[in-house]
Amino acid sequence: MPSTDRTLSVLCLSALSLLATAALTAPTAHAASAADGWSLAPSGGGRPAFYAEGAPGTVSQDTVTVTNRGGGPVTVRLSGTGVAITFAGTDVRVPARTSADVPFTVSVPEDAAPGDRSGTIVARDSEGRSRTVPLTLRVGGPDLSALTVEHVTVHGDRIAYELVNRGTTVLVPKLAVRADGLFGPVLDRAPRTLPVQLAPGRRLRLTEPWPNRPALDAVDIRLTVTAGGGARDTALVPTRFVPWGAVAGAGSAVAAGAFVVVRRRGRRGGAGGEPARRPGKKAELTGART
Domain boundaries, the chain: 38-139, 147-241
- List, for residues 98-111, the tens digit of each pLDDT value: 999 999 999 999 88
Query: What CATH homologous superfamily does 38-139 map to?
Result: Immunoglobulins (2.60.40.10)
| Of 188 and 3, more confident | 188
Phi, psi of 176, deg, nearest 5: -125, 140
- Across 20-29, 128-137, 277-286, which has the greatest mean pLDDT? 128-137
CA pair distance 187, 222, nearest whole angstrom: 10
Q: Name the percent of the chain lying above pLDDT 90.
A: 59
pLDDT at 135: 97
- Please give the CATH number for the structural domain made up of 147-241: 2.60.40.10
User: Would the CATH topology of 38-139 be identical to that of 147-241?
Assistant: yes
| Of 202 and 251, more confident | 202
Count Cα neighbours of 34 within 13 Å in the Cβ-side half-sphere: 16
Using an 8 Å Cβ cutoff, are 218 and 240 in contact? yes
